[in-house]
Copies of this chain bind each other. A is one copy, B any other.
Amino acid sequence: MSATGLPFDDIRALIAQMPTPDMRARHDARHRQEELTKPSGSLGRLEDIAEWMASWQGRAPSVNRPVVAVFAANHGIAAKGVSAYPPEVTQAMVENFAAGGAAINQICASFDLGLKVFDLALDYPTDDISEGPAFSEKDCAATMAFGMECLADQPDLLCIGEMGIGNTAVAAALFAALFGGTAADWVGPGTGHDAAGLERKRAVVQQAIDLHRPHFGNPLEVLRRLGGREIAAMCGAILGARMQRVPVIVDGYVATAAAAVLQALDPSALDHCLFGHVSAEPGHQAALARMGKVPLLALGMRLGEGTGAALAAAMVKAAVACHNGMATFAQAQVPNRD
């Protein structure tokens, strides 16, 4: 904790010290791309990705220790029926992750990605945000710090995902707080809802928005009041990765809400992040557009668990493999244009 005794001061201090991209490494990567046996620019976003990786890693890019970090938490607001599934599913899915039975397990196995699941006090949901703040500043800051634990094994690429029954409602409230608009603008079906369920979800989220509106100018206070533990942890993880210059792939709607808090604190705070996909949750495209981020994939997914980010990680692996493994025109004696 900082000298002032306010838990968020440590977070603000980190934000003030964020490293910037290594422009020399970026330049070197661009130079190499121009020499590889392909027309300049013909690998499209794969070329951008190789340069982006180089600029944060500060060297020729590599993906040797990719990690998918999945943060799981429960939400008081779930008691209001904002999800089609009961809150017990969060714990059951954490066990499913451990047993290897979830979608994210199969995707990680397909692409040799490490998987780390962090369950965040599942027996202690945050308070119902439609009735008061989610948690204390101290608890929120501690959860952000805990989120940084996913950097412990020094991954060279970090995918950020989540699991938490009720958390698309929480993310919708966060987006409304950060970007304006009503619950109707940001609430979608999440895991699936009938018309009545969707209406109920909207009403509860609108209640939360109305209750906390006086604090919308303060992003960390917004996180404390409207966020869940997994969102605070993802926020910490993304910031922690930045401090260590680890490139991040952000997953879907809920993970993007965590990222949006950081961007509200500093417009450059997400420069080390790639947005893995745009999900089928309607508010995700709107949020990404507000944030000026272009997602890599659009596969109509809406599962969470880091699944969209992990699929994008496969594209990053391919981009880096092309960058490092391709021959140059000179090496392969391929005639270049001109």
Q: Which residues of A contact B (CB under 8 A)?
A: 36-46, 84-86, 88-89, 92-93, 95-96, 99-103, 105-107, 109-111, 191-192, 280, 296-303, 307, 311, 314-315, 317-318, 321-322, 324-327, 331-337
> Across the interface, do A191 and B39 meet the contact criterion of CB distance under 8 Å?
yes
> Across the interface, do A302 and B44 meet the contact criterion of CB distance under 8 Å?
yes
Cβ contacts under 8 Å, A301 to chain B: 42-46
Q: B45, B86, B110: which contacts A321 (Cβ < 8 A)?
A: B110
Closest chain B residue, CB of each to CB of A327: B101
Closest chain B residue, CB of each to CB of A310: B318
> Across the interface, do B299 and A296 meet the contact criterion of CB distance under 8 Å?
yes
> Across the interface, do A103 and B337 meet the contact criterion of CB distance under 8 Å?
no
> Across the interface, do B93 and A321 meet the contact criterion of CB distance under 8 Å?
no
Q: B42, B100, B297, B321: which contacts A107 (Cβ < 8 A)?
A: B321
A162 CA to B153 CA in the complex, in Å? 42
> Across the interface, do B327 and A99 meet the contact criterion of CB distance under 8 Å?
yes
A321 CA to B307 CA in the complex, in Å? 13
> Across the interface, do B45 and A102 meet the contact criterion of CB distance under 8 Å?
no
In the complex, besides A42-B280, A92-B334, A99-B327, 5 extra interface pairs with C-beta distance below 8 angstroms are: A46-B301, A85-B336, A93-B334, A192-B337, A298-B298
> Across the interface, do A44 and B322 meet the contact criterion of CB distance under 8 Å?
no
Cβ contacts under 8 Å, A325 to chain B: 100-101, 105-106, 109
Q: B88, B307, B314: which contacts A335 (Cβ < 8 A)?
A: B88
> Across the interface, do A318 and B111 meet the contact criterion of CB distance under 8 Å?
yes
> Across the interface, do A96 and B299 meet the contact criterion of CB distance under 8 Å?
no
Number of this chain's copies in the complex:
2
> Across the interface, do B111 and A322 meet the contact criterion of CB distance under 8 Å?
no
> Across the interface, do A106 and B192 meet the contact criterion of CB distance under 8 Å?
no
A324 CA to B325 CA in the complex, in Å? 32
> Across the interface, do A96 and B322 meet the contact criterion of CB distance under 8 Å?
no
- Nearest CB in chain B: distance from A294 CB, A: 10
A89 CA to B96 CA in the complex, in Å? 52
A333 CA to B336 CA in the complex, in Å? 59
Closest chain B residue, CB of each to CB of A305: B38
> Across the interface, do B307 and A43 meet the contact criterion of CB distance under 8 Å?
yes
A309 CA to B99 CA in the complex, in Å? 32
A43 CA to B191 CA in the complex, in Å? 11
- Nearest CB in chain B: distance from A166 CB, A: 13
Q: Which of A93, A103, A321 has the most CB atoms of chain B within a 10 A radius of its CB?
A: A103
Cβ contacts under 8 Å, A314 to chain B: 110-111, 314-315, 318
Question: Are A37 and B326 also in contact (CB < 8 A) when A85-B335, A315-B311 are?
Answer: no
> Across the interface, do B110 and A318 meet the contact criterion of CB distance under 8 Å?
yes
> Across the interface, do B110 and A317 meet the contact criterion of CB distance under 8 Å?
yes
Cβ contacts under 8 Å, A318 to chain B: 106-107, 110-111, 311, 314
Q: B88, B303, B324, B327: which contacts A43 (Cβ < 8 A)?
A: B303
A326 CA to B102 CA in the complex, in Å? 5
Cβ contacts under 8 Å, A99 to chain B: 327, 332
Cβ contacts under 8 Å, A280 to chain B: 42, 44
Listed A/B pairs (13) with beta-carbon separation below 8 Å: A39-B192, A39-B303, A42-B302, A84-B337, A89-B335, A101-B332, A102-B326, A102-B327, A106-B318, A106-B322, A110-B321, A111-B314, A314-B318
